[in-house]
Structure 1
């Protein structure tokens, strides 16, 4: 008999519960929670929230460190029938308060660190505190087993499942609501694509306010598998951590590959237990895909791509050592084909459809209906053929086999003395220089115009030698004005290269490392 699943995102956990009630749904450090235990904790938290608020909340914030309570909180918020709003306890208090207000959060699940991070900006709303923090009675919701729900509250496909915030061009975060119906379509596609099962062990590398974390949790829980968050210290010897956990599914940003390489642990066949290795969040270099494939020879390596507004990911390319290298552009792996049930077009600079290269626009069931603030919709949607299409802001090229390859952001392209320069192309050239491991190229504006700054890792190479090598492959108009050697790139909370931090350093003339 064919197994069916309801429309709610939490129905995926309920399916895992039915399949694997006594298996570990979650392991954080040495602590394990079975599906039954996690389910019961979430029901108690959800019931306590509903009992402690005047009316059922439409949005519940989860402001916790990435530990057991945070995962309970994510599930509990969904069980209330509200949209879950994951919040990062390390963010500035004013920014978090802004998100809480914008999302219409009317109840908060928080731990000690989360509450401490809101010091001076505590919103006037009820809080269920998991930890030892003291709250005044006006805000405190007691955790009451007697209030626990018998089952999660029902939701409709049009109801928001979660609300995430992406960075906005004005400096104000943009709220992205994703509906239960969109997540259902997404995970049904993934169920057909991947053979995940009860014995799988999933990594969980992403912070919970990053949409790729939704993939980890609900792919694993929908299969009755186990989720293992990866602690920062594990990256000192990641293959050993993967082996100790007998991990079978890895998912991270590509920056993790460079990080493991720098530890000297990325060797052939060191991760034989992996069956799937998935990368998203930033461009995947061909060199990194090939080296990871050698380290996990039994795994299928995939590059998956998608903005938050299109429900986690909307394309995928399976890496083939034989054919994929020939499809790469600027040393970057293809992002593949768009998901079933979706249409896409490429728009040229004139706004007309281009067959070969342009801005990627996508429509289909994974598309959000609009930002929380309607003002943020301006310029992000295209009305075409009676449908709304999301303008990703990403430049892509259509290859001969129909797959797409990422070229860079539209807003990253710069003009230097009349040259239209794509930083990704310059980065590829810098990576080709002897001694360079990785490179990030940013633009800065000076009194004399726009110039490029190249940050690079690997061994130190003098700027004169780098410039000499690059003159063989780049015209003068594309040459970086300055080179900066770094031991490692700064990473943001989601372990992606923090390009914004490098751009700020360039703009301020901050000469980290050695300059030209």
Structure 2
């Protein structure tokens, strides 16, 4: 079996090693690590974790983190990336649920170690060159490469095991679609416990390219940072576009080094796509979509400044076509298949076969026509030609005074108001009914003016109760809008005065 046919995701790094052994595989500030050096460190970590079948990596964006993730994969183990700034109780729960038998930490992870482990008896590995493997251990397509944890409706994190076979399918499609080369330099804007980070790592390493970690300070002058680092491939959430814009970094032609720009993790606005495309005119821009359970992303749509705006719904860019080799259906509220609009279900080689705890599968992994499908919980519409467009989460459609309200429709309507840059509407239960609170960025506008503009396009029952200006939206560690923070703020605003006091 050739290296290209082997399912192990680490074979992509070994491909890069063969293409560019003394070239940089990883850059962080002034620090640069070659493919050969990272390979040797990974072999050392692989031997140092012994026979552990599941290895946690509690680390920030450090050389130890990247070498540790690759090393756990080399060991034939399942790697569990963990964020050292997460609450200790949550991280400990992830370690318990995953069955981790060894832990790799960097300085940041070590500082959080005592509180994180508590009474958990888990050995911390130390790199021992004498224990280094000579070659990575072989794995099969069904073996789990990594496990990530998503938020569950019960508040308990849900483990999502992703196999080497699913990743192999995903990256083979990516290679064919994008044609990355050893000259490409990829941003790493995502934390390592977010699946989109794996796109950066293994697309770059599979081509012999460079992963360049983006520090928070880079957003102060992103054009200068990208030019200085020679970045050719950008990948982030759409929220990063607004941040770069606010820092004055989206002037036409400001990002000339980019040849690919990818956005995922949130709905992409047409205005944001157009502004980014104008700033990066040599770049091909794609909106890519997919929940963790479907291996990083499972659809792709290529932005065209001439035709894409006419295909928008609520000002959002389509998410495109589902990846080759997969089937998908749309279901209406009664659970019947519909050709045009409904909840998106997908099955195929990128789909996880279930959560770590089978109890979490209920309502998400379902049987249809003798096959297992994943219910995304996302409402989409099929456009003429077959492309899909995201309409919102099923739980973002709420009932207000008998009206069925799609929160994305309110967001879109308010973005058309003078001075308003972006909008997030949240719904909160109040005294047996549902109240809407709008948070918006841009210029401060009178609430009466915003409500008057909405009355021109929306029924009275869909009008929000509060309009709250914020300088910028709170972002979580992966630079996505932190909706739970906004929801908590809305609850505070809507609470009776005595409770707020």
For residues 46-73 of structure 1, give each alpha carbon's deviation from its aligned partner in whole angstroms, at most 9, with x where no partner exists.
11221xxxxx111100001112211111
Question: Residue in 2 aligned with 1:169?
Answer: 153
Superposition pairs of residues 207-356 of structure 1, within 5 angstroms: 207-356=191-340
Query: 2:143·2:163 contact (CA, 8 Å) conserved in 1?
Result: yes
- Residue range with higher mean Cα deviation, 450-459 or 376-385: 376-385
Moved more, 241-250 or 440-449: 440-449
Task: Provide the rounded CA distance (Å) in 2 between the counterparts of 1:374 and 1:70.
Answer: 30
SS in 1 for 2:262: strand
For 1:134, the equivalent position in structure 2 comes to none
Shift of 1:412: 1.4
Take 1:406 and 1:254, find their aligned partners in 2: how far apart are those partners?
14
SS of the aligned residue for 1:115 comes to helix
1:397 is displaced (CA, Å) by 0.2
1:351-406 deviations in Å (ceiling 9; x for gaps): 00011000000000000011000000001122122111100000000001110000
Match for 1:109 among 87, 104, 125?
Answer: 104
Compared CA separation, residues 3 and 108, structure 1 to 2 (3 A): closer
SS in 1 for 2:485: helix
Q: Paired residue for 1:82, among 67, 77, 100?
A: 77
Mark the runs of 5 or more structure 2 residues left unpaired by the alignment: 496-501
Per the TM alignment, residue 99 of structure 1 is displaced from its structure 2 partner at its CA by 0.1
Q: Distance in 2 between matches of 1:37 and 1:453?
A: 52
- How far did 1:5 drift? 4.3
Which position in structure 1 is the counterpart of 2:382?
Answer: 398
| C-alpha distance in structure 1 between counterparts of 2:321 and 2:464, whole Å | 34
TM-score (norm 2): 0.97
Which residue of 465, 468, 477 maps to 1:493? 477
CA distance in 2, matches of 1:250, 1:197: 14
Where in structure 2 are the equivalents of 1:45-56 lying within 5 Å? Answer: 45-50=45-50, 56=51
Query: Are the equivalent residues in 1 in contact too, given 2:430–2:494 (CA < 8 A)?
Result: no
2:9 corresponds to which residue? Answer: 9
Distance 2:283 2:262 in 1: 10
Provide the residue aligned with 2:414 in structure 1.
Answer: 430
**Matched residues, number:** 492
Q: Distance in 2 between matches of 1:109 and 1:60?
A: 7
Shift of 1:3: 7.4
Question: Conserved in 2, the CA contact under 8 Å of 1:96 and 1:118?
Answer: no
Where does residue 23 of structure 1 map in the other structure? 23
Match of 2:34 in 1: 34
Which residue of 412, 435, 438 corresponds with 2:396? 412
**Distance change in 2, residues 1:464/1:448 (3 Å):** farther
Secondary structure (helix, strand or coil) at the match of 1:89 reads coil
TM-aligned CA deviation for residue 471 of structure 1: 1.2
1:125 corresponds to which residue? 122
Measure, in 2, the Cα distance between the counterparts of 1:380 and 1:4: 33
Query: Which residue number in structure 2 is paired with residue 366 of structure 1?
Result: 350
- Counterpart Cα distance in 1 of 2:151 and 2:336: 28
The answer on 1:153 being equivalent to 2:137 is yes
Q: Distance in 2 between matches of 1:66 and 1:335?
A: 30
- Secondary structure in 2 matching 1:273: coil
Is contact 1:398–1:404 with CA below 8 Å preserved after alignment? yes
SS in structure 2 at match of 1:222:
helix
Contact 1:329 1:405 in 2 (8 A): yes
Unaligned runs of 5+ in 1: 51-55, 129-141, 512-516
Q: CA deviation at 1:4?
A: 2.5
CA distance in 2, matches of 1:4, 1:497: 38
Deviation per residue, 1:249-297 (Å, 9 max, x gap): 0000000100011112210011111110000000000000011000000
Deviation at 1:208, TM superposition (A): 0.2
Match of 1:61 among 49, 56, 70: 56
Shift of residue 468 of structure 1?
A: 1.4
Equivalent position SS for 2:49:
helix
Separation in 2, partners of 1:16, 1:301: 25
